Amino acid sequence: MTGKLQLFNNEFCPECREVREKMGQLQLSYYCINVDPVKSQRHNVIELTGQNVVPVLVDDDQIFVLKEAVLAHLAQKFGDNPTEPAACGCKCS
């Protein structure tokens, strides 16, 4: 990853939860910016996108708005499958 990923989201938004889960599956590091639940108070999102909806993903100079666009970008850039955890090398399984 060349830049820092920033995810603008609301903790109670189901679409945001799906994006957070996918980013976790892909083991991506990102800054999570929780926005106000009141859409008219999301000044940082409005300034960034001209809209008040989340999720919003910022990847370097690219901005992706709404779950479908964010997930499509993650799949295209990082792959659609979650990263498998590294094997421990023992015979415990």
Alpha helices, H only, the chain: 14-25, 43-49, 67-78
Tokens of 2: 């060349």
pLDDT of residue 81: 62
Assess contact for 31 and 57: CB atoms under 8 A: no
Ranges in the chain, pLDDT < 70:
1-3, 81-93
pLDDT of residue 91: 40
CATH level 3 topology of 5-78:
Glutaredoxin (3.40.30)
pTM for this model (two decimals): 0.82
DSSP H/E element including 6? strand 5-9
pLDDT of residue 88: 41
Give the domain ranges of the chain. 5-78
pLDDT of residue 53: 97
pLDDT of residue 79: 87
pLDDT of residue 42: 97
